[in-house]
Amino acid sequence: GQNIDQPTEMTATEGAIVQINCTYQTSGFNGLFWYQQHAGEAPTFLSYNVLDGLEEKGRFSSFLSRSKGYSYLLLKELQMKDSASYLCAASDSNYQLIWGAGTKLIIKP
């Protein structure tokens, strides 16, 4: 079956760094997405990885290891506005997105 695993909740301090991990098992693979979702709002795109390695985009970076079925999202210099749920989604052989349950990130001052 197809499955995405990510932690349910994480807590971090403002100004710090946090890494959110995601493991996936899919029928075929066409890339890994990270989305940010604030309560009551639709997801917004953060990053897309299809090749192994690290993609850096400002304060956010995303890493992918296809052989391990593993990705992480790294958030640096955390700000209070980063408090949100972070959704990991893998694109399968039919380009359907298989979604994780999301990681609720709580930022404390």
| Nearest residue (CB) to other proteins, 76 versus 92 | 92
**Pattern 65-94, binding to other proteins, x per CB under 8 A?**
----------------------x---x---
Largest CA distance in the chain: 43
Determine the 3-state secondary structure of 105 from DSSP. strand
| Count of residues touching other proteins (by CB under 8 A) | 20
Instruction: State the nearest-atom distance from the C-beta of 70 to other proteins, in Å.
Output: 19
Q: Given the rule CB under 8 A, which residues bind other proteins?
A: 30-31, 33, 40-45, 48, 50, 87, 91, 95-97, 99-102
